[in-house]
Chain A
Amino acid sequence: MTPTVQTALLIAGIGIVGIFIFMALFYLMIIALDKYLPYQEEKPAEVYLSETEEEEEEIEE
């Protein structure tokens, strides 16, 4: 086995493991982002306005 092939083997080994580590890390980041920044349904404008009015009334009372 030539030194070049040995180096190629080493790079391939580290490379394959490395790429899985990278992708596993990205996977965990996606899970974390999805957990801590979840989708929230945007309220329709009418609902938002009526809620604001109710809140204002409560404050006045």
Chain B
Amino acid sequence: MGVEQLMPAIAGMTWQHLVMIGVGLILIYLAIAKNYEPTLLLPMGFGAILVNIPLSSALTQIDPATGEAVEGVLNIFFNAGIATEIFPLLIFIAIGAMIDFTPLFRNPSLLLFGAAAQLGIFLTMMLAALLGYDIREAASIGIIGAADGPTSIVVASRFAPNLLGPISVAAYSYMALVPIIQPPVIRLLTSRKERLIRMTGNNNKKISKKALIAFPIVITIAAGIIAPSSLALIGFLMFGNLIRECGVLNKLSLAAQNELSSLVTILLGITIASTMTAERFIRVDTLIIIALGLFAFVFDTFGGVIFAKFLNLFRKEGNKINPMVGACGISAFPMSARVIHQMGQKEDPYNYLLMPAISANVGGQIGSVVAGGIILTLVPLLA
């Protein structure tokens, strides 16, 4: 009896499998040692190891004795949770329960940065189309620029399930790398004088509970009327927020923020890894997608900063917006706001940009979901 019969996994191991196991180890290292999005990167890294050991029972395999397919647990999870979009939508309930829209009520005009900083999505989509991807794949790659993992997963699983693995890895990795990606782009686009701008807003303004309760309901109705296909995304986010704000479901709100979020995140991470098999992942496409993801994040930051500079052309001295705050219009919350606040403090220790930055960042969370909804509506319509 040879090694092939005794240890078929070793016999079936190729260099591609070894590379993917290496990728899995790198993701685990980044999660543990660098604390980069550990809740997602660790399950994804472990899952990458799990699915790249030949004949892994975690994936569907053909039983050599009977010739029948034996379904692997990760394939079952994928079909039940990702293909149906249930996992990312459940995550939206959890995110909605975590978001406090009060900063947005204090500085509502900063909501517009949540639109400007989605520029990277659309530019990346055009670049991907120029590189030869079909429109569905290009839209799925572009949505990495939403800086919003669940939105990326929903769009990619609907339009390009074959690219789900690299898109998810790129989306979550770059979200973790916001402190490295954004500062150089911002410094390149702004002068020191602009970075020193102080922003005074209604940072202590009190907001009525009724308004905070009405907000998710009103937004859901408005979004549903304008773009019904965006309702699953926006509706679940706002449902989570209503649970938080209503004041009578505190137990459910806490459950959504903690237990639901944790459970679904574990399942989501490890299930996405089922798409990270060597055959699907070790391709030139993966490198291109990862490069395009970086392009998307850079141009998101560009869009936000340039929009702030554009608005400043029309604003009076003393009422100008610090252009760095524009970069917070991405969905990576609260990391982006924290990065901008720290950059502001580095230039001037007495400049407190945290509150306006958080307002723009909350706007980015809404903006990314709206962008996802728009892509989901437009692509089938125009493709």
Contact = CB atoms under 8 A, between A and B. Distances in A.
Main secondary structure of the interface of B (DSSP, over half): helix
B223 interface: yes
Nearest to B107: A30
Contact of B138 (A8, A15, A31): A8
B223 A22 contact: yes
Pick the most buried of A9, A18, A22, A23: most chain B CB atoms within 10 A of its CB: A22
B115 A9 contact: no
Contact of B108 (A9, A11, A27): A27
Contacts of A18: 227, 374, 378
A5 B130 contact: yes
B18 interface: no
A33 interface: yes
Contacts of A14: 374, 378, 382
Interface string A35-60: 00111100000000000000000000
B208 interface: yes
A24 B242 CA distance: 22
A2 to B, nearest CB: 8
A37 B125 contact: no
A37 B210 contact: yes
Given A12-B122, A39-B206, A23 B222 contact: no
A54 B194 CA distance: 58
A19 B206 contact: no
A36 to B, nearest CB: 8
Interface residues of B, number: 49
A12 B135 CA distance: 11
B112 A23 contact: yes
Nearest to A33: B211
B114 interface: yes
A11 B378 contact: yes
A19 B374 contact: yes
B378 A27 contact: no
Contacts of B174: none
Contacts of B112: 20, 23-24, 27
A26 B125 contact: no
B286 to A, nearest CB: 21
Given A10-B382, A12-B125, A26-B111, 11 more contacts: A7-B383, A8-B129, A11-B125, A14-B374, A18-B378, A19-B367, A22-B115, A22-B223, A23-B112, A23-B115, A37-B211
8 contacts: A7-B135, A8-B129, A8-B130, A11-B378, A19-B367, A22-B223, A22-B374, A29-B222
Interface of B: 104-105, 108-109, 111-112, 114-116, 118-119, 121-123, 125-126, 128-130, 133-135, 138-139, 205-208, 210-211, 214-215, 218-219, 222-223, 226-227, 363, 366-367, 370-371, 374-375, 378-379, 382-383
Interface of A: 2, 4-5, 7-12, 14-16, 18-20, 22-27, 29-31, 33-34, 37-40
